Amino acid sequence: MDADYDEKQLTPTDDDNDNVAIITPDDGDSMIDDTDADITTEPALPLATDHDAIRDRFMPPYDEYETEAEAVFTWDITNWRSLPKRTNGPVFHCAGHPWRILFFPFGNAASEAVSFYLEQGYGDEKPPEDWYACAQFMLVLHNPNDPQMYIHHEASHRFTAEEGDWGFTRFADKNRIFAAKYDGFDRPLVEGDMARVTAYVRVLKDPTGVLWHNFVNYDSKKETGMVGLRNQGATCYLNSLLQSLYLTGAFRKAVYQIPTSTEEERASSNSAYALQRLFYRLQADPLAVSTQELTHSFGWESRQIFEQQDVQELSRILMEKLEARMKGTEAENALPNMFVGKMKTYLRCINVDYESSRIEDFWDLQLNVSGCKSLDDSFKNYVEVETLEGENKYMAEGYGLQDARKGVIFESFPQVLHLQLKRFEYDFQRDAMMKVNDRYEFPEIWDASPYLDDTADKSEPYIYHLHGVLVHSGDLNAGHYYSFLKPEKNGEFYRFDDDRVTRAAKREAIDDNFGGDYATNGLNGLQKGQNPYTRQWSTKRSNNAYMLVYVRESRLDQILPPENEMQAPQHLPIKLAEERAAAEKRKKDRDEAHLYMNVQVATEASFKAFQGVDLIPWSADNEEVEPAAPKTYRLLRSWTVSDFSDFLTKQYGLERDLIRPWIMVNRQNGTVRPDHPLLWDNMTLQEAADKFSTRTGGFRIFVEETTRNAEGAPVWPSEETSVPSSPVVNGNAQQQHKPILIFLKYFDVDNQVLSGVGHIYMHPSEKAQDLAPHILELMCWEAGVSLELYEEIKQTYIERMKPKNTLVASEIQDGDIVCFQRHLGEAESTAIRQSKPTACLDAPAFYDYLINRIFVTFTPKFVSPQQNFEVRKEGDEKFTVALSKKDNYDALAHKAAEQLSLVTTASIDPSHLRFTTANAQTGKPRTLVKRQAGTTVSTILFGTSGNYGGGYSYNSSAAAQAPDHLFYEVLEMTLTDLEQRKAIRVIWLSDGIGKETAYEMAMPKQSLFRDVLAALQKRAGLPEEVVAHVRFYEAHGSKVYKVLPLTHSVVALNEYMTVYAERIPAEEEAEAEKQGTMHDAEGEVGSDVEVEEEDARSGRSTSRLVYCFHFEKEPSKPHGVPFLFLLKEGEVFTETRERLSKRTGIKGKNLEKVRFAVVKGGQGFVGRPVWVQDDDVLASMLGPDDHLGLEHPNRQRGNWARYESLNIR
């Protein structure tokens, strides 16, 4: 016979938003998914009337939560079938709160089941404000005549005014409980329409205030006094670090002391100012704060925002930038005093009195987690002493090879100790980075003194208190960062999870973040947990600490000062208040936008200031036309024309009766011209716009100005004219009698300037030649000056006017533009051509130039002393020139030389200029421009549909070429002479391989590399003592090909090879001197390498050179700068790596990311790379043709040693 059953509701999570727990019992004995069903008939099980036994058996207390009060209440249900659809039981109390059972005898949204809930018992009365109670409860339904027959369900919930009931919609199947025989018993569970339900309620204490909180309408500021930081995409790691630094009061105080009162200091690129703003907003704002301003000041792009980055790397760079900003201020040295400790690296001989040591600063420490069970284990591992003996003996100066001890010990620890736990490590078996979820314990109070040197100053205890635990939940590829921080000296921990801040128990902050396995369940061994980000199950916790912040006990008051001691600079709240007011105004403007309209206004001054096609530039998109651009005003649509005229009078300082506004219209030919004046004072602007304006162009106005006559009256054209004697050609008689408004432009050939000079009124019957007297008077020219007249019809149509034609015959109307210029004789034209070869001699040619005009910025390709010219004022070497897209190479060179000659100490010959296009993304030089037939500015900057000029194309990709930027160089010879030479590009490595400077040289084809060295000395300004130690080597595909002796011919150099030049490292020269293979007086640098290689093959050498290169994942993907490295026989790789670090400039954490491998077969690469271990001797692993490979990501070509995966500008 089947047993009775019981169903148990699991504890709801924070994300549960439903107000009921839905239970679906099977006909069998078990429940699905999140329910536990036990069908009970065993006599050993407690009876429903044994309340203590039932509670102990089915509702055990939570170990982690303290009970506030418990209550048991029983309600006898009678007349079940006669009850209303919703019934409440009597009110009972627990922990001072009223409770009652809510009963749906015929089911709640589930007709086949009965529903029971527990609800707060305030009824029609409202619960107190912010009322809540965290309750664990159980409802038991049983037959009052047989207490063996019962069903129970248990759940937990945070009861609030909004969520006042919680329980079980499918508490029990109706057919089952009313059946004549209930599950093996000879009677029904509900017998005689009667049953008994007992409520067991346990109210729990809520020390953090967020137990089982659903966080709907949660207010971090109200609950904790603090606010969080909004996540931009994947910036939770940044938020954790920023909150930790913000709550380190002394750090916040130091940041506030950085001067940021001037506009220059408040630039958007100033990360210190952005951090000040962020910190102040964390103090003052009521809601979570955005970090967009800060990441923008860092110079980050969306790629960096949507990638999880390394917190240690970010912290180090941020500290470096802030320390630089603090120099010379009252905050100088604040950060080193707070975060910097000292460690000593030593090597001490055992049998002789010799020690080599160095003391270094550290800002944080990176500790091993693998193989360490606790913080102390990690420090013991950190200071572990290594004995060098046998083959690993140390070469002590003056004592030879000696047994020695090597290790690290601390001289001092900082006031604030940042400990980075190595939760991510490279797994050689998986060939990937993996997360270490092992259990790792750290104490709340920790003593650092055991790890100090015996000679360290211990007068002040090195006891540290845990201030912050930064946590990562998930794995390497999918996870989340949050932190537990203690804002006050003796305060509580708080959890900072992006935009949410909550109180946290000490257990949550510390114990729950040790990592390791889940607790055992007592039955089947280890429990499993689900990673919330990957949805995978594991026996190990995926949430664990990756960074710890400890504060020295004796400095707690200094590091965590009272809030009132951390006041922001006075200008900061003022500035932010102004910005808030401006934002509110913008919002108000948006809300009231329907009441306003934008009106563009042009004036006579705008017309005179403009050099271009049409009246003015209605769309001003560059500084060149900005003075002539129209002003845009936001005006009420209800304003009348009279109101508008009054506004114009005040705005421009004009007299009311001397102006009148003209409506501007878009003509079919694409121009914008005045159409007719607005003479209706009572018409509103909205009515005027609807009636006269074109919708596509908006509402545009030209303000006409006039003068007064002798009587003081405004002079406006009269429309009362006599009928002309000549017949009307076009238009009706009324239009023929109305004066025409004509705008005049003057083309100044001498100065190559086209500008507006004013407007006049002419009668339609007057002829084009009748314009001349008015123009001469306007320009104050003598009578008899010969003029050329053109009508500016549209951008590409400039028509010469016929002097004898009337204006009406020429189709001149209001708003038309007439351009005039002085007539040039042959002699005058020739003189201008000689002085200015690129000058335009007539207005149509100049209009064509304007249409094709482009402003190009010229930048020297090389910095001094490489450039063959000298400017009078620093900065003038970069200039902008207006060019025509139709200009050929010679015109381009002439205009650039003309501008450059104005700022240099000597005149520049255009034939000596060579240009290079610019990369649109990087701004760096891209492709040399060749002087060929058909080459124009347009083809150089914008390319063509195919290759041109002998298959030469400058812009195969529109996105790759900057359309307004060229690099230039002043050659020592003409371009013609240059063609007779061999172009060679030498990359000078001035500081190891970390700094590259490229020099392009044109060498005579008979030159040797001895001549290249002389040219490099001149271009790079190398002193003689350096020149004597320079060597060249060529590389291809980021791998060394061979060393080039000074006798090597330039013409024999392959085009695709890259030539590097460097100063031979001192250790190589010392070794060469020891072996007697020093280069000769002429700087012959090839012989020493060849001798070493030969010695390596014969086995005579104790040291030799090896070719090295960088690659990513596999040797077939090389990158970066290859180099030569000196190998020493018998040297273990731990020491070799230190020398490699000095050789490459790759240090610290970057060096830890590099894997080293022996690549067999040299250039050919035979087989897989052989990875080098710390105790290997590299010299014995490398054959004569083998290369040493450095495996690491190709983050930045050619400059990886200086690369940080994160950058703050």
Residues belonging to the active site: 236, 480
Q: Which residues of 943-960 are buried (b: 16+ CB within 10 A; e: fewer)?
A: beeeebbeeeebbeeeeb
Burial of 178 (0-12, 13-18, 19+ CB in 10 A): middle
Residue type, 245: L
Q: Which of 191, 203, 198 is nearest to 53 (CA)?
A: 198
CA–CA distance from 237 to each of 312, 319, 359, 363 (Å)? 10, 16, 32, 19
Strands, E assignment, 1064-1198: 1103-1112, 1114-1128, 1155-1159, 1170-1171, 1187-1191
**Element housing 471 (H / E):** strand 463-474
Distance (Å, whole) CA 596 – CA 593: 5
CA–CA distance from 89 to each of 57, 83, 99, 110 (Å)? 25, 12, 9, 21
CB within 8 Å of 6: residues ≥ 6 apart = 37, 38, 39, 40, 58, 150, 151, 152, 153
Instruction: Tell me the three state secondary structure of residue 649.
Output: helix
CA–CA distance from 286 to each of 226, 280, 585 (Å)? 8, 12, 20
Retrieve residue 890's tokens: 């010679």
Burial of 106 (0-12, 13-18, 19+ CB in 10 A): middle
Name beta bridge partners: 5: 39
Which residue do the tokens 């938020």 mark?
239
CA–CA distance from 968 to each of 37, 354, 539, 873 (Å)? 83, 59, 65, 18
Name beta bridge partners: 1134: none
CB 549 within 8 A of CB 418: yes
Which residue do the tokens 């371009």 mark?
975
- C-alpha 568, offset from chain centre: 26
Residues counted in the chain: 1209
**Neighbour count for residue 703 (Cβ, 10 Å):** 20
Q: Which of 1149, 1206, 994, 1145 is nearest to 362 (CA)?
A: 1149
Which residue do the tokens 């102390």 mark?
376
Which residue do the tokens 């569970």 mark?
189
Residue type, 429: Q
Distance (Å, whole) CA 211 – CA 160: 12
Q: Which of 646, 636, 645, 465 is nearest to 555 (CA)?
A: 465
Retrieve residue 649's tokens: 């009078």
Distance (Å, whole) CA 193 – CA 199: 20
Residue type, 257: Q
CB 121 within 8 A of CB 92: yes
Distance (Å, whole) CA 351 – CA 808: 114
Q: Which of 926, 1060, 914 is nearest to 985 (CA)?
A: 1060
CB 771 within 8 A of CB 762: yes
Distance (Å, whole) CA 797 – CA 614: 12
CB 993 within 8 A of CB 1147: no
Query: 3-state DSSP helix/strand/coil percent for the chain, to nearest 5?
Result: 25, 35, 40
